[in-house]
Amino acid sequence: MLAMAVSTRARADTAAAPTSPAAPQQFARLGDLRLESGAVIHDCQLGYRTLGTLNAARDNAILVPTWHTGTSGQLLEVLGPQGLFDPAPYFVILVDALGNGVSCSPSNSASQHGKAFPAFTIRDMVASQHRLLTEQLGLHHLRAVVGYSMGGMQTLQWTVSHPRFMDAAVAIAATPRLSSYDLLFWRTAEQAIVTDAAFAGGDYQRNPPLPLFQMVFALNATSPDFRQHKTTPAEFDKFLRETVAPDPEAPDANDNLAQIRALLSQDIGAGPGGPPGLEQAATRVRARVHLINARQDQLVNPRAAQTLAPMLHARLTLLDSECGHFAIQCDMASIRAAVEMALKPEVGSVPEAISKPRSAGIAVTPK
């Protein structure tokens, strides 16, 4: 989920990213954005990039939301013929989620700066993206929504908030709701930020390095086996120094915290006027859903996705490598094959509401 940005440190620790295509940063002015809480983000701009051309039938558009603290520019790094999917046949919209430092965020708001920025949710992210598509780009249907980590959480929320808007949804390393283990990890990460003296209650003058947060994140980003194979005890002190060293590319701490709090409350079976529980949420879904999870993911536990899959008649791909949440860096070929399969048009209509659970199709990719 989150884990966020596939950072420069993470890339150095795992495999190289594919070559990225080029697309300029753009912004959609949404004005005042009313949130589900009733609060308002003033003068909200949503960042996005586009790749390719919308075809005459207007049926080749794919939305890709960002992961936690990720940017649309970083999404470019994981697309291409050797990336998550080849964007060439599609009109791809890469959208900067609320609070990522590019779209309206605590760090860039003039009137609601820092801790004064209103709390938002994953559902608010999806609502802002819906406005971008319908009001700014004139799109009212998508071939698919594809997301990784927190982008996958947004993808799953899309299927419930706007069930007929897309033909397919591909959620990678994501969950429909946080498990108790996820809550424990992200509450710990939250505390590692707010209790840091340099964070200064959100009133810092310089972005704090947050060494404890970096350690907590590194602890769960991959599996124990991965860390032991990658770092010998003799190399550990060097690894730790590099992990906690100030990173000029690190996301703003208030932005980081705001997005953590958004994902902490996420549950596709909850929300104002929403259905109570996964089973009821599943009855709203009309898209074909493909879930891709890693068994050893310690940032986003895969069990809730496995529970949801049969409710949706969804295909489930389980990755069995030791790379954990960063399977996107270690198992890209397996993930790409699953995504490309999901993007193929299906003969017949999209699924109607699911009345009874049944077994999902499960593909297990070994080490």
Distance CA 100, CA 118 (A): 14
CB atoms within 10 A of CB 239: 15
Give me the phi and psi of 194, to 5 degrees please. Answer: -70, -25
Q: Assess whether 42 carries a catalytic annotation.
A: no
Give me the phi and psi of 316, to 5 degrees please. Answer: -125, 120
Give me the phi and psi of 43, to 5 degrees please. Answer: 50, 55
Q: Which residue type is seen at 356?
A: K
Say if residues 218 and 185 touch (Cβ distance below 8 Å).
no
Torsion over CA of 41, 271, 171 and 17, rounded to 10 degrees? 30
Q: Assess whether 149 carries a catalytic annotation.
A: yes
Distance CA 263, CA 255 (A): 13
**Radius of gyration of the chain from its Cα atoms, rounded to whole angstroms:** 19
CA dihedral (216, 222, 223, 227) positive or negative: negative
Q: Assess whether 325 carries a catalytic annotation.
A: yes
- The residue annotated as part of the active site, out of 297, 321, 331, 334, is 297
- The residue annotated as part of the active site, out of 105, 107, 128, 149, is 149
The structure tokens listed for 256 are 């980081």
- Among residues 209, 214, 257, 219, the alpha carbon closest in space to that of 68 is found at 257
- The residue annotated as part of the active site, out of 68, 162, 290, 325, is 325
Active site members:
149, 297, 325
